[in-house]
Amino acid sequence: MVINHAGTLRPEFFIAYMNLIMNAFECSVEQARNLTFERLFQSKEDDLGNESYKQFLKAYEAIKQ
């Protein structure tokens, strides 16, 4: 997946991506979070920018409930 590094990604994007991961790999929310972090952020919090990382955490909190 190609991501434009110029803008902040929204929580809806991360929720949709984690749902896709959970459906494709039949995994838990925690596993989907870890895979998303590895794949999109290359396991570095600042890889897509600080604001995108905050939105990622917000999406994770929303999806795990």
Q: What is the pTM of this model?
A: 0.90
Residue 24 domain-assigned (yes or no): yes
The 3 state secondary structure assigned to the chain is: CCCCCCCCCCHHHHHHHHHHHHHHHCCCHHHHHHHHHHHHHCCCCCCCCHHHHHHHHHHHHHHCC
Three-class DSSP category at 64: coil
The count of structural domains within the chain is 1
Residue 3 domain-assigned (yes or no): no
Which phi and psi (to 5°) does residue 18 adopt? Answer: -65, -35
The per-residue pLDDT for 39 is: 95
Q: 37 is in which domain, residue-wise?
A: 11-63
The per-residue pLDDT for 7 is: 82
Give the pLDDT of the chain (65 residues) as one tens digit per residue.
656 665 889 999 999 999 999 999 999 999 999 999 999 999 999 999 999 999 999 999 999 99
